[in-house]
Amino acid sequence: MSDPSELLPSWRPGDVRTTLLTFLDRAERLPVERRLAVFDNDGTLWCERPTYVQFEFFVDALRQAARRDPTLADREEFAAVLDADLVAMGEIGLERLAMALAELFSGETPEEFAGRVRAFFGHARHGDLDVEFTATTYAPMLELLDELTRREFTIAIVTGGGTEFVRAISSSLYGIAPELVVGTLIAYDVDRDGAGEIVVRRTARIDGPGNEGIAKVLAIQSSLGRRPVLAAGNSFGDREMLEWTCSGDDPGLALLIDHDDDDREYRYASTAETSAGHESITAVGRRLGWCVVSMARDWTRAVGARRP
Amino acid sequence: MSDPSELLPSWRPGDVRTTLLTFLDRAERLPVERRLAVFDNDGTLWCERPTYVQFEFFVDALRQAARRDPTLADREEFAAVLDADLVAMGEIGLERLAMALAELFSGETPEEFAGRVRAFFGHARHGDLDVEFTATTYAPMLELLDELTRREFTIAIVTGGGTEFVRAISSSLYGIAPELVVGTLIAYDVDRDGAGEIVVRRTARIDGPGNEGIAKVLAIQSSLGRRPVLAAGNSFGDREMLEWTCSGDDPGLALLIDHDDDDREYRYASTAETSAGHESITAVGRRLGWCVVSMARDWTRAVGARRP
Of B33, B177, B218, the CB nearest to A33: B177
Q: Any idea what the Cα angle at residue A259 is, between residues A254 and A260, rounded to 5°?
A: 120
- From CA A285, how far away is CA A292, in angstroms rounded? 7
Write down the pLDDT at residue B2.
60
Query: CA nearest B165 in A: which residue?
Result: A225
Of chain B, the percentage scoring pLDDT greater than 90 comes to 89
- CA separation, residue A254 to residues A37, A230, A284, A305 (Å): 10, 6, 12, 24
What mean pLDDT do residues B244-267 have?
A: 94
pLDDT surpasses 70 at B27: yes
Of chain A, the percentage scoring pLDDT greater than 70 comes to 98
pLDDT surpasses 80 at B83: yes
What mean pLDDT do residues B202-228 have?
A: 94
Of chain B, the percentage scoring pLDDT greater than 70 comes to 98
- From CA B8, how far away is CA A129, in angstroms rounded? 54
Of A164, A218, A223, the CB nearest to B179: A223
When pLDDT is cut at 50, 70 and 90, the band that residue B302 belongs to is confident
- From CA A300, how far away is CA B54, in angstroms rounded? 53
Give the residues across from A92 on adjacent strands. none
- From CA A253, how far away is CA A232, in angstroms rounded? 8
Nearest partner of B291 among B253, B240, B261, judged by Cα: B253
**Backbone angles phi and psi of B185, in degrees to 5:** -100, 125
Query: CA nearest B31 in A: which residue?
Result: A171
Of A154, A164, A188, the CB nearest to B218: A188
Write down the pLDDT at residue A306.
41
Cα end-to-end distance, chain B, whole Å: 23
Q: Count residue pairs from A and B with Cβ separation < 8 A.
A: 86
CA distance A299 to chain B (A): 31
pLDDT surpasses 80 at B214: yes
pLDDT per residue as tens digits for the range A38-89: 999 999 999 999 999 999 999 999 999 999 999 999 999 999 999 999 999 9
- From CA A274, how far away is CA A243, in angstroms rounded? 14
Q: Which residues contact A296 (CB under 8 A, 6 or more apart)?
A: A260, A261, A262, A263, A264
Task: Return the C-alpha torsion angle B63, B65, B66, B69, nearest 10.
Answer: 170
What mean pLDDT do residues B194-222 have?
A: 93
Strands B131-132 and B154-162: unpaired
Which contacts qualify for B102-108: CB closer than 8 Å, 24 or more apart?
B102/B58, B102/B162, B102/B186, B102/B204, B103/B204, B104/B58, B104/B61, B104/B62, B104/B65, B105/B61, B105/B186, B105/B202, B105/B204, B106/B201, B106/B202, B106/B203, B106/B204, B107/B201, B107/B202, B108/B201, B108/B202
When pLDDT is cut at 50, 70 and 90, the band that residue A2 belongs to is low
B33 to A223: CB separation less than 8 angstroms, yes or no: no
B155: chain A residues, CB-CB within 8 Å: none
B247: chain A residues, CB-CB within 8 Å: 197-198
- From CA B74, how far away is CA B59, in angstroms rounded? 16
Q: Which of A25-29, A35-39, B229-233 has the lowest mean pLDDT?
A: A25-29
- From CA B137, how far away is CA B181, in angstroms rounded? 16
Helix B110-123 to helix B163-174 angle, to the nearest 10 degrees? 60
pLDDT surpasses 60 at B43: yes
The chain B residues in contact with chain A (CB within 8 A) are 33, 110, 154, 156, 163-164, 167, 171, 177-181, 185, 188, 190, 197-198, 200, 214, 217-218, 221-227, 240, 243-244, 247
Look up residue A218 and give its amino acid: L
Write down the pLDDT at residue B304.
57
pLDDT surpasses 70 at A304: no
B156 to A177: CB separation less than 8 angstroms, yes or no: no
Spell out the alpha helix ranges (H) of chain A.
15-27, 53-68, 76-82, 86-92, 94-102, 110-123, 139-150, 163-174, 214-224, 239-246, 281-287, 295-298
| Strand order through the sheet with B154-162 | B181-184, B154-162, B36-39, B230-233, B253-258, B291-294
- Which ipTM score applies to this complex? 0.95
pLDDT surpasses 60 at A143: yes
The chain A residues in contact with chain B (CB within 8 A) are 33, 110, 154, 156, 163-164, 167, 171, 177-181, 185, 188, 190, 197-198, 200, 214, 217-218, 221-227, 240, 243-244, 247
Nearest partner of A265 among A113, A140, A128, judged by Cα: A128
B198 to A243: CB separation less than 8 angstroms, yes or no: yes
- CA separation, residue A196 to residues B74, B216, B238, B288, B292 (Å): 49, 18, 17, 12, 21
B227: chain A residues, CB-CB within 8 Å: 200
CA distance A224 to chain B (A): 4
CA B139 to chain centre: 15
Query: CA nearest A219 in B: which residue?
Result: B188
- CA separation, residue B270 to residues B253, B263, B283 (Å): 20, 19, 10
Q: Which residues contact A250 (CB under 8 A, 6 or more apart)?
A: A30, A34, A229
Please name the helix (run of DSSP H) or strand (run of DSSP E) that holds residue B253, with its range, or none.
Answer: strand B253-258
Which contacts qualify for B280-285: CB closer than 8 Å, 24 or more apart?
B281/B234, B281/B235, B281/B236, B281/B238, B281/B239, B281/B256, B282/B256, B282/B258, B284/B236, B284/B239, B285/B242, B285/B254, B285/B256, B285/B258
- From CA B101, how far away is CA B96, in angstroms rounded? 9
- From CA A299, how far away is CA B98, in angstroms rounded? 53
Nearest partner of A254 among A216, A223, A307, A218, judged by Cα: A216
Write down the pLDDT at residue B308.
35
CA distance B288 to chain A (A): 12
A178 to B224: CB separation less than 8 angstroms, yes or no: yes
pLDDT per residue as tens digits for the range B123-173: 999 988 889 999 999 999 999 999 999 999 999 999 999 999 999 999 999
What mean pLDDT do residues A154-161 have?
A: 97
B164: chain A residues, CB-CB within 8 Å: 225
B190: chain A residues, CB-CB within 8 Å: 214, 217-218, 240
B177: chain A residues, CB-CB within 8 Å: 33, 154
CA distance B224 to chain A (A): 4
**Backbone angles phi and psi of B90, in degrees to 5:** -65, -40
CA distance B8 to chain A (A): 27
A218 to B156: CB separation less than 8 angstroms, yes or no: no
When pLDDT is cut at 50, 70 and 90, the band that residue A94 belongs to is confident
Average pLDDT, chain B: 94
- CA separation, residue B234 to residues A164, B42, B108 (Å): 30, 8, 32
- From CA A108, how far away is CA A114, in angstroms rounded? 10
Please name the helix (run of DSSP H) or strand (run of DSSP E) that holds residue B202, with its range, or none.
Answer: strand B198-206
B33: chain A residues, CB-CB within 8 Å: 171, 177-178
Buried residues in B92-130 as b, exposed as e (16+ CB within 10 A): beeeebbebbbebbeeeebeebbebbeebbeebebeebe
Give the residues across from B233 on adjacent strands. B256
Nearest partner of B257 among B225, B284, B223, B291, judged by Cα: B291
pLDDT surpasses 60 at B305: no
- From CA A233, how far away is CA A201, in angstroms rounded? 31
pLDDT surpasses 80 at B17: yes
Query: CA nearest B112 in A: which residue?
Result: A226
B179 to A217: CB separation less than 8 angstroms, yes or no: no
Query: CA nearest B179 in A: which residue?
Result: A224
pLDDT per residue as tens digits for the range A13-27: 999 999 999 999 999
Look up residue B135 and give its amino acid: A
